[in-house]
C-alpha cells in the first residue's frame, strides 16, 4: 500500500463510523427497541433495497465469482435466472404475510402457525448459521488481504469488527441501512470494480480483446441443460435450486426480512425487492467480467502455479496490475472490506440482537423498553466478541471456507421449509413440521458437511495438474508447444459416496422435498 491507498481506505471506514454517531445523536437517539431494531418502521423502498442488496453481498461474492469464472468459465452466470423466479415469490408470497402480522422477528410467525418449540428451533438454527457464517466471512478476506498487502490479519479483523460494532450500537438499524447505502455507492463497490475492469481492459487492448481470448479458450460457457443433480452448475441447479437458496436468504432470513418490515408500507417493502433485481444482475455481470479479465491477463502465467489460492486471484490482480495507479488498490480493498462486513458484522449483529431479544428474552422477562434497548445494544457487543472467537477457530480449520459457502443452503433450507409448508400446506401441524425440520436438517447436514470432509480427504485424487493454455506457447514465441502431461481421471464418487457429489445449489430444494414428505406423513398420523 502507498500513502494514498491508506488514506482512501481509512476515509471509507471513518465515514461509516460517523454515520453511526449521527443517528445516535439525532431523532429518537435509538432510545427505544422499535427505533434501534426496526428504524421506527419508517424507511422508504430505495435505501432498504440498497441495504438489502449489500446485506447479501459479502467478500465471498466479490472474491468467489471471479475465481469461479477464472477456473471454470462463465457457467455460473446462469444463477441470474433464479433472480427472476424468487423475486416475485418473495414480494407476493412472503412479504404480505410477515408485514400484515406486524412482527419484529420473522420467527414469531412459527409460533403463531405451529408452536413455541418450532419457533425456538428456527431461532437457534438462525443464530448458529449466522455465527458460523460471519466468523468465516470476516476471516477469509482478512487472510487474502494479508497475503497480498502484508497487513496483519488480526489487526484488520479486530479493527473492522470494532468499527462496525460502534456504528451498529450507536446508530441502530438506521445506521446499518444508511451505511450500506453509502458503502455500496460509486465510491466503494460498483465504481471500484468498474475502474478495475476499465483499466484492465485498456491494458489488454480493449474489452473485445478480453472476450475474444475467453471465447478462444472456451471460457464463455453455453447453457448446460444436463438434468443431473450431481453437476455443479447447470441451468436446472442454478435456476431451480438457486431459487430455493435465494428464497431461504431473502424470504425467511431475519437479516433480510427485518429490512422489509422496517418499510413505511407493504407496497414499499415489495418495491424494495424489485429494485434489488437489477442490482443483483449488475453484480453478476461485473463479477463474471472481472473473472474473464483476470483469465485473459494470467492465462500464460497462472498464479495458481505459485501457491496462490483461487480466492486471492482478484487481490493478486489488483495489487500486481493496478498497483501503479495511486489510490486504486486502496479503493478496492475498501470495497472488499465493506462487502465482507455487510452480512458478517453490521447486518448480522443487528438481526441477531433482534431475534435474541424478541424470541428468547422478552417472552420470559418483562422489562421497560429503555432497559430492553440497553440489553439489545449489549447483545450486539456480545455477538461481536463471539464473532472474533469464531474467526480464531476459522483460522485453524483449512476447509471452513467451503463449509461457510454451503451453510446457507444446509441450514437455510430446512428453515425455508417450515415457512413454505406453514403458508401453503394447511394440513401440516406442529408435530409434522418439527419432524420434517429435524429429519431434513440431519440429512442435509450429512450430505453437505459430509461432502466437504470427503473432498478434503480425496483432494489429491481426480484433480488434473495445472498447465498453460496451448495458445500461450505461441504467444511466447516457443516453436513447439509442450504437450500437457497424461492424466488418468480417478472417479472417487462411487457407491454411496455419489451422494456427496450433489450440487450445493440443490441443498435447499432437497431439504424442502424431505420436509414436505416427512411433515405430511407425521401430520396425517397425528391428526
Question: Is residue 254 within 8 Å of 358, Cβ to Cβ?
Answer: no
pLDDT of the residue at 490: 58
Closest listed residue to residue 54, CA positions, set 181, 141, 167, 142: 181
Locus of grid cell 472474491: 63
Does residue 257 or residue 312 have the better pLDDT?
257
Q: Which region among 23-27, 92-96, 487-491, 495-499 has the lowest average model confidence (pLDDT)?
A: 487-491
pLDDT of the residue at 85: 94
Q: Does residue 39 have a pLDDT over 60?
A: no
pLDDT of the residue at 117: 93
Locus of grid cell 453478476: 284
Q: 117-148, pLDDT tens digit by residue? A: 999 999 888 888 888 777 777 777 776 667 66
Length of the chain: 527
Does residue 10 or residue 270 have the better pLDDT?
270
pLDDT of the residue at 441: 93
Q: Does residue 236 have a pLDDT over 60?
A: yes
C-alpha to C-alpha distance for 420 and 418, rounded to whole angstroms: 6
Closest listed residue to residue 508, CA positions, set 375, 410, 376, 379: 410
Mean pLDDT along residues 444-460: 77
Q: Kindly indicate the confidence band of residue 484, based on its pLDDT and cuts at 50, 70 and 90.
A: very low
Q: 144-169, pLDDT tens digit by residue? A: 667 666 777 788 778 777 777 776 67
pLDDT of the residue at 91: 93
pLDDT of the residue at 189: 67
pLDDT of the residue at 23: 57
Question: Is residue 196 within 8 Å of 334, Cβ to Cβ?
Answer: no
Closest listed residue to residue 113, CA positions, set 434, 411, 527: 434
C-alpha to C-alpha distance for 359 and 104, rounded to whole angstroms: 9
Q: Kindly indicate the confidence band of residue 338, based on its pLDDT and cuts at 50, 70 and 90.
A: low
DSSP-assigned beta bridge partners for residue 263: 43
Q: 197-211, pLDDT tens digit by residue? A: 998 898 888 888 998
pLDDT of the residue at 487: 44
Q: Please give the C-alpha separations between residue 516 and each of 378, 434, 510, 520, in angstroms, as whole numbers.
A: 39, 11, 10, 6
Phi, psi of 31 (to 5 degrees): -90, -15
Q: 295-331, pLDDT tens digit by residue? A: 998 887 777 666 667 777 888 888 877 777 777 777 7
Across all residues in the chain, what is the average pLDDT? 77
Q: 420-441, pLDDT tens digit by residue? A: 999 999 899 999 999 999 999 9
Q: Does residue 462 have a pLDDT over 50?
A: no
Question: Which CATH code of 3.10.129.10, 1.20.1730.10, 1.10.760.10, 3.40.50.2300 fits the domain covering 3-397?
Answer: 1.20.1730.10
Percent of all residues in the chain with a pLDDT value above 90, rounded to a whole number: 19
Domain boundaries, the chain: 3-397
Q: Does residue 30 have a pLDDT over 50?
A: no
pLDDT of the residue at 380: 82
pTM equals 0.81
Closest listed residue to residue 414, CA positions, set 247, 217, 192: 247
Amino acid at each position: 500500500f502507498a500513502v494514498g491507498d491508506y488514506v482512501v481506505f481509512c476515509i471509507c471506514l471513518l465515514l461509516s463510523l460517523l454515520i453511526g454517531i449521527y443517528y445516535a445523536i439525532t431523532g429518537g437517539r435509538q432510545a427505544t427497541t422499535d427505533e434501534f431494531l426496526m428504524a421506527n418502521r419508517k424507511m422508504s423502498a430505495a435505501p432498504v433495497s440498497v441495504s438489502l442488496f449489500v446485506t447479501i453481498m459479502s467478500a465471498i461474492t466479490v472474491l468467489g465469482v471471479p475465481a469461479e469464472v477464472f477456473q471454470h468459465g462463465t457457467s455460473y452466470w446462469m444463477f441470474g435466472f433464479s433472480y427472476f423466479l424468487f423475486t416475485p415469490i418473495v414480494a407476493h408470497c412472503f412479504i404480505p404475510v410477515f408485514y400484515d402480522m406486524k412482527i419484529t422477528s420473522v420467527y414469531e410467525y412459527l409460533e403463531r402457525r405451529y408452536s413455541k418449540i418450532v419457533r425456538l428451533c428456527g431461532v437457534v438454527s438462525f443464530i448458529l448459521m449466522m455465527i458460523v457464517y460471519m466468523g468465516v466471512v470476516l476471516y477469509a478476506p482478512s487472510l487474502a488481504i494479508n497475503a497480498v498487502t502484508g497487513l496483519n490479519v488480526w489487526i484488520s479483523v479486530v479493527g473492522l469488527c470494532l468499527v462496525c460494532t460502534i456504528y451498529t450500537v450507536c446508530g441502530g438499524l438506521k445506521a446499518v441501512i444508511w451505511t450500506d447505502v453509502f458503502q455500496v455507492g460509486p465510491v466503494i463497490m460498483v465504481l471500484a470494480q468498474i475502474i478495475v475492469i476499465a483499466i484492465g481492459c485498456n491494458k489488454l487492448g480493449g474489452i473485445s480483446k478480453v472476450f475474444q481470448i475467453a471465447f478462444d479458450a472456451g471460457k464463455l460457457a453455453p447453457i448446460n441443460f444436463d438434468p443431473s443433480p450431481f453437476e455443479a452448475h447447470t441451468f436446472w441447479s442454478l435456476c431451480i435450486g438457486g431459487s430455493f437458496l435465494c428464497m431461504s436468504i431473502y424470504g425467511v432470513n431475519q437479516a433480510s426480512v427485518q429490512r422489509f418490515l422496517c418499510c413505511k408500507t407493504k407496497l414499499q417493502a415489495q418495491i424494495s425487492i424489485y429494485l434489488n433485481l437489477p442490482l443483483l444482475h449488475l453484480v453478476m455481470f461485473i463479477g463474471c467480467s472481472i473473472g474473464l479479465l483476470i483469465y485473459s491477463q494470467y492465462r500464460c502465467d497462472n498464479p495458481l502455479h505459485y501457491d496462490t489460492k483461487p480466492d486471492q486471484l482478484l487481490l493478486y490482480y489488483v495489487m500486481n496490475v493496478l498497483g501503479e495507479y495511486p489510490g486504486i488498490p486502496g479503493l478496492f480493498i475498501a470495497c472488499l472490506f465493506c462487502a465482507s462486513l455487510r452480512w458478517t458484522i453490521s447486518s448480522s449483529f443487528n438481526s441477531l440482537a433482534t431475534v435474541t431479544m424478541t424470541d428468547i428474552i422478552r417472552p420470559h422477562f418483562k422489562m421497560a423498553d429503555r432497559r430492553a434497548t440497553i440489553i439489545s445494544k449489549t447483545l450486539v457487543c456480545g455477538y461481536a466478541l463471539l464473532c472474533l472467537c469464531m474467526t480464531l477457530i476459522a483460522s485453524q480449520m483449512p476447509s471452513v471456507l467451503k463449509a461457510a459457502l454451503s451453510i446457507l443452503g444446509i441450514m437455510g433450507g430446512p428453515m425455508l421449509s417450515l415457512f413454505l409448508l406453514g403458508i401453503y400446506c394447511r394440513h401440516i401441524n406442529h408435530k409434522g413440521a418439527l419432524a420434517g425440520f429435524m429429519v431434513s436438517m440431519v440429512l442435509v447436514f450429512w450430505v453437505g458437511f459430509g461432502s466437504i470432509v470427503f473432498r478434503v480427504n480425496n483432494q489429491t485424487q481426480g484433480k488434473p495438474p495445472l498447465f498453460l493454455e496451448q495458445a500461450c506457447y505461441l504467444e511466447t514465441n516457443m516453436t513447439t508447444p509442450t504437450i500437457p502431461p497424461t492424466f488418468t481421471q480417478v472417479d472417487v464418487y462411487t457407491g454411496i459416496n455419489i451422494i456427496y457429489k450433489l450440487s450445493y445449489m440443490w441443498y435447499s430444494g432437497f431439504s424442502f422435498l424431505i420436509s414436505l414428505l416427512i411433515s405430511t406423513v407425521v401430520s396425517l398420523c397425528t391428526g
